[in-house]
């Protein structure tokens, strides 16, 4: 029983850590905190932004934050805001899905610039901390790919209640 409690506590701590990482990502991107962003991503990260391109490896991704498009966006006022993610942890790997929104300041007001499905993959480092290994974004334009990303994480109500019941025993 004690082992079960410790495992459940570890899973809760892992989920909370990943939620915190995702929540911090938007402000870090808007403030362009490069040291934090470099620590956030794994060296072999794959960031698939759909029509905006795919960036493979930290060496390819990090310059995106310094490029004109991102710098212009944040200089004009932007807010990368994510919904609360659904996180699944399996050992030293985790995935999360949520809605990713990007607002920008434009002509004196804020407007929704992008609304996307976002799927993240994480792995635990040797030091116990988590790092992001992949992010896939798909704009919610009616494209079935975005819906498929969101739907792949939805637990069936019966499965979720059975799992909760089994964990309580």
Q: Strand pairing of 86-90 and 78-82? A: unpaired
Q: Strand pairing of 130-139 and 41-48? A: parallel
pLDDT at residue 162, as a whole number: 56
Q: pTM of the entire structure?
A: 0.87
- Count of structural domains, the chain: 1
pLDDT at residue 1, as a whole number: 81
Cβ–Cβ < 8 Å for 140, 115: yes
Nearest to 77 by CA among 46, 103, 113: 103
Segments forming the whole domain that contains residue 137: 2-168
pLDDT at residue 121, as a whole number: 97
Nearest to 118 by CA among 100, 134, 92: 100
pLDDT at residue 161, as a whole number: 47
pLDDT at residue 117, as a whole number: 96
Query: Residue 12 maps to which CATH number?
Result: 3.10.450.50
pLDDT at residue 88, as a whole number: 94
């Amino acid at each position: 029983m004690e082992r079960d409690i410790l495992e459940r506590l570890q899973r809760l701590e892992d989920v909370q850590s990943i939620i915190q990482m995702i929540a911090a990502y938007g402000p870090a991107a808007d403030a362009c905190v490069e040291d934090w962003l470099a620590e956030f991503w794994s060296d072999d990260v794959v960031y698939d932004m759909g029509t905006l391109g795919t960036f493979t490896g930290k060496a390819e991704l990090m310059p995106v934050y310094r490029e004109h498009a991102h710098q212009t966006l944040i200089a004009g006022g932007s807010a990368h805001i994510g919904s609360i993610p659904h996180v699944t942890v399996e050992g030293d790997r985790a995935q999360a899905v949520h809605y990713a929104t990007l607002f920008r300041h434009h002509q004196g007001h804020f407007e929704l610039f992008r609304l996307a499905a976002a799927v993240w993959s994480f792995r635990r480092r040797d030091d116990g901390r988590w790092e992001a290994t992949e992010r896939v974004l798909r704009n919610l334009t009616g494209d079935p790919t975005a819906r498929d990303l969101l739907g792949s994480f939805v637990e069936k109500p019966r499965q979720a209640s059975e799992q909760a019941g089994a964990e309580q025993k």
